[in-house]
Structure 1
Amino acid sequence: MSYRIYWRRNDGVSGHVWLSVGDMEALTGEMTLQGMPWPGSRLPEPGSDALLTADEVEETIAVARETPLGISDGQLWIDWLVFLEGATQNGGLLIRA
């Protein structure tokens, strides 16, 4: 299983990422360590979708630190924060499992 995550408004070229379960777990764990209000309980089951509003994403990244506390892949973390910032400008996120 993997997660396909899209900005709600994207052009098909930018505004999407594919994450393995391991990467999603690492990112979710880092967000938890940093006290970010990520609605991880809303991650979809296989074959379904979840929507996060731009406001929810903005609340999540408002307390983010650029330097990760626990994730070993610092570039993955920075790329994730940049992606989430884009989602705040593009209607939020659509997450497909």
Structure 2
Amino acid sequence: MDPVILISIFVGMGLILLFIGAPLKPMRFAGKVVVKLLIGALMLFLLNTFGTSFNIHVPINAITTCVSGLLGIPGVAALVVIRYFILP
């Protein structure tokens, strides 16, 4: 797709949202979910970084990021338990 068309679509959507307005509650909820998913991916990255000395590795993908992001530290602990005690 041509970059000019893509930029004009984004500008047009921005103008529509500016004039019509966006519902705040769904946008706020989506923003919170995105932030939680980013924090979950960061927790998995730190687990993999510091867990190499203990031979702990949990792959970072969409499912593990959602579990660790939405459940927090207990979710990361559950992923480690599932990875090493339930899966061979």
TM-score over 0.5 (shorter chain) = no
- Give the structure, 1 or 2, with the largest relative contact order (CA under 8 Å, sep 6 or more): 1
TM-score, length of structure 2 as denominator length: 0.26
Query: Could you say which structure has the higher helix fraction?
Result: 2
Higher Cα Rg, which structure: 2
TM-score (ref. length: structure 1): 0.24
